[in-house]
C-alpha cells in the first residue's frame, strides 16, 4: 500500500507543477486579450466621436445655408427686410 501512496504523491506533484507552469501563460494570454479589448473600445470611442463631429459640421452647414438663403440679394430686398423686421 505504501508504493501506491507514493504514486499519488508523484501525480499530485506533477499536477501542481503543470498548474504552476500554466499560470504565467494564462496570465499573459489574459493580459493580451484584455489589451485587445481596450484597444477595440478606444477605436469604437474614436469612431463615435468622429461621427458626432461630422454630424455637428453637417448641422452647421445646414444652418449656414439657411442663413445665406434668407440673406437679401440686392438693395431692394435689403431695404424691404429692414422695413419689415428692423435691425
Which pLDDT value is given to residue 69?
A: 78
Asked if residue 72 lies in contact with residue 63, where contact means CB atoms within 8 angstroms, the answer is: no
Structure confidence by residue, pLDDT tens digits, 1-35: 455 667 888 888 899 999 999 999 989 888 888 88
| Number of domains the chain contains | 1
Domain for residue 1, yes or no? no
* The three three-digit cell numbers of residue 86, written as one number: 428692423
Q: How far apart are CA 66 and CA 59, in angstroms?
A: 11
In a domain, 21, yes or no: yes
In a domain, 6, yes or no: no
Nearest-angstrom CA–CA distance, 25 and 32: 11
pLDDT for the residue 66: 84
In a domain, 31, yes or no: yes
pLDDT digits (tens, 9 = 90+) for 28-74: 888 888 888 899 999 999 999 999 999 999 999 998 888 777 777 78
Stated pTM of the model: 0.51
State the residue range of the domain holding 38. Answer: 17-85
Q: Which three cell numbers stand for residue 23?
A: 499560470
Amino acid at each position: 500500500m505504501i508504493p501506491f501512496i507514493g504514486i499519488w504523491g508523484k501525480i499530485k506533484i506533477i499536477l501542481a507543477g503543470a498548474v504552476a507552469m500554466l499560470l504565467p501563460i494564462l496570465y499573459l494570454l489574459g493580459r493580451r486579450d484584455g489589451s485587445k479589448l481596450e484597444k477595440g473600445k478606444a477605436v469604437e470611442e474614436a469612431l463615435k466621436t468622429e461621427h458626432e463631429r461630422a454630424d455637428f459640421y453637417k448641422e452647421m452647414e445646414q444652418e449656414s445655408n439657411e442663413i445665406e438663403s434668407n440673406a437679401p440679394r440686392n438693395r431692394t430686398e435689403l431695404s424691404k427686410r429692414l422695413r419689415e423686421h428692423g435691425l
